[in-house]
Amino acid sequence: MTEASRHRLLERQLKKAAGPDGAVDVDRLLELVSKAYDEYDNTLRLNDRAARLMSGELSELNDKLRQESEARAKISEALLQTVLDNADEAIISLGNDHMVLSANRVAEQTFGYRPGEMIGKPLSVLFECPDEAEDHQRFSDKGPQARALHVNEVQCRRSTGEAFPAELSFSRIPIENDVRLISFWRDISSRKAAQAELISAAEEAQAASLSKSNFLANMSHELRTPLNAIIGFSDLLLSELHGPALEVRHKEYIKDIADSGAHLLQLVNDILDLSRIESGRYDLVLEPIHLIDVTASVIRQLGPMSRKGQLELLDTISGALWLMADRRALRQVLYNLLSNAIKFTRPGGRVSLSATRVDEGVEIAVEDNGIGMPRDALPRLGNPFEQVANSYARAHGGAGLGLAITRKLVGLQNGVLSFDSELGVGSVFRVWLPIASALARTA
């Protein structure tokens, strides 16, 4: 053996076994070599032992972990089963092949299957129409981004063949290379039935209301014709153009006939207006209107009435106030409010008209110091037909439908009517209407 090919450990041992003269002490060398073998054995033994113990410890730990995870799995399984058993919805899980893997109790009851009978059935048997089943099957092919729920109303089929509507949502659960679908179904047939009943009730009510309005419109027209005759002929008699003068007593009777006729005509006109509004036949044109144009003409028109009632009619509106309103409707609103105020104000009293900017609109106020109304009557004020049944209104005659019409007209012009009153002190009615925007004004 050449020196170069010796193991370096042997080389070292030879060096250590060499005496001062360079000669190798064989006993010393053998001792070193033997010790090296022992060291090698010990290292091997120790490492073997460590590997064996470690592997034992690790597999023990592994068993422990497995037992723990099995115990956890059991708990979550029990939890899941409780949720499934007590859910209000039918919950059906499906495999990638759209075959039922599991169905909860509600699902079996909803679809009319015996326990366990649904498992292995294709998704399509649950749908009334096979095409719809295919649509939903496609959901699972949309890739992982389609994991979110999607809710749809679908037509389902029970095992008895009976169809029923349901709300259906899906949730995707990607499991490694596979995908599970969890579907949630809610039988909505009773909700649907209740909805249908509500809709038909609403339709019936609407039809009834429309026929009532039509009836009123026709009736009013039929009533006006004979009234015109009554008023016309009583005026003719009073004018005494037809011949000799009537006795004073007869003249008073005829005047009563004419007044009652006029009153009745006003009532009929109101009913006609209201029915027109309610049946949607009151056509409005909303346009920029200069408020003073309308108020001036209404004040002028009511001048004789206020003079007759011996009261002051005060108009404080000035300046340029442009409203977005319908000219005819605004006129009627102001006329109704002012004439009412004049009617319910005693001689010597005062009715005033004013306007102020409020927010993006103008508030027009009609205020009087007339007889006023009791506070408890206010909440029902302006409700059509209730008004005529109101004993207070009846006692003062003619207050009738005017306010109901006024409120409707204000509403049609996107405005708001509010009021306040106190018995023996007076009333105030406020109409808020939107101002005409700059754009609308220049248009």
Partner 1 sequence: MRATTLTYASGAWTRDDKVTDPNLVLWFGSPKLARDAKIYDDLRARFPKALIAGCSTGGEIYNDEVHDGTAVAAAIRFDHTTVRACKVAVSAGSDSAKAGREIAAQLSDFGLRAVYLLSDGLMVNGAKLVQGLLADLPPEVVITGGLAGDGADFASTCVGLDGPAVPGVIAAIGFYGGKLNATWGSAGGWDPFGPQRKITRSEANVLYELDGKPALELYKRYLGEAAEQLPGSALLFPLVIRPEAESSYDVVRTIVGVDEKAQSLIFAGDMPQGWTAQLMRGVPDSLIDGALRAARQARVGEDSGDGSSLALLVSCIGRKLMMGQRISDEVEIIRAECGAIPTIGFYSYGEICPHGFTGSCTLHNQTMTITVLREAA
Of residues 60-119, those binding partner 1 (CB under 8 A): 61
Q: What is the dihedral of CA 379, 385, 389, 393, to 10 degrees?
A: 60
Per-residue binding string, partner 1, 398-417, x by CB under 8 A, is --------------------
Number of residues in the chain: 443
Q: What is the DSSP string of 147-210?
A: GS-EEEEEEEE-TTS-EEEEEEEEEEEEETTEEEEEEEEEE-HHHHHHHHHHHHHHHHHHHHHH
CB nearer to partner 1: give 46 or 205.
46
Q: Are 108 and 154 in contact (CB under 8 A)?
A: no
Query: How many residues interact with partner 1 (rule CB under 8 A)?
Result: 21
Closest CA to 341 of 363, 364, 322, 323: 364
Q: Are 284 and 333 in contact (CB under 8 A)?
A: no
Nearest to partner 1 of 44, 99 (CB atom): 44
CB-wise, 38 or 259, nearer to partner 1? 38
Residues 6, 25, 30, 43: which binds partner 1 (CB under 8 A)? 43
| Phi, psi angles (nearest 5°) of residue 117 | -70, -25
Smallest distance from partner 1 to CB 21, Å: 15
Neighbouring CB atoms inside 10 A of 204's CB total 10
Least distance CB 80 / partner 1 (angstroms):
31
* Nearest distance from C-beta of residue 2 to partner 1, angstroms: 20
Nearest-angstrom CA–CA distance, 323 and 334: 14
User: In sequence order, which residues have a C-beta less than 8 Å from that of residue 297 and are 6 or more positions away?
Assistant: 331
Within 10 angstroms of residue 249's Cβ, the number of other Cβ atoms is 8
Q: Whose Cβ is closer to partner 1: residue 67's or residue 190's?
A: 67
Q: With residue 305 as reference, give the H or E element that holds it.
A: helix 291-308
- Smallest distance from partner 1 to CB 137, Å: 44
Instruction: Provide, rounded to whole angstroms, the least separation between the CB of residue 29 and partner 1.
Output: 12
Q: Which is nearer to partner 1, 55 or 218 (CB)?
A: 55
Of 10 and 238, nearer to partner 1 (C-beta) is 10
User: In 357-383, which positions are buried (b, 16+ CB within 10 angstroms) versus exposed (e)?
Assistant: eeeebbbbbbbbbbbbbeeeeeeebbe
Give the number of other CB atoms < 10 A from CB of residue 73. 10
Which C-beta is closer to partner 1: that of 10 or that of 87?
Answer: 10
x/- site string to partner 1, residues 5 to 34, per CB under 8 A? ---xx--xx------------------x--
Query: What residues numbered 46-65 form the site for partner 1, per CB under 8 A?
Result: 46-47, 49-50, 53-54, 57-58, 61
Q: Which of residues 357-386 bind partner 1 (CB under 8 A)?
A: none
Distance of closest approach, residue 10 Cβ to partner 1, in angstroms = 10
CB 66 to partner 1: min, Å: 15
Please identify, using beta-carbon distances, which residue of 29 and 84 lies nearer to partner 1: 29
Q: How far is the CB of 6 from partner 1 (least distance, A)?
A: 14
Shortest distance, position 12 Cβ to partner 1, whole Å: 6
* Beta strands in 249-360, from DSSP E residues, in sequence order: 287-290, 312-315, 322-325, 350-358
| 35: contact with partner 1 by CB under 8 A | yes
* Contact stretch for partner 1 (CB under 8 A) within 36-44, 91-99, 332-340, 365-373: 36-44
Residues engaged in binding partner 1 (CB under 8 A): 8-9, 12-13, 32, 35-36, 39-40, 42-43, 45-47, 49-50, 53-54, 57-58, 61
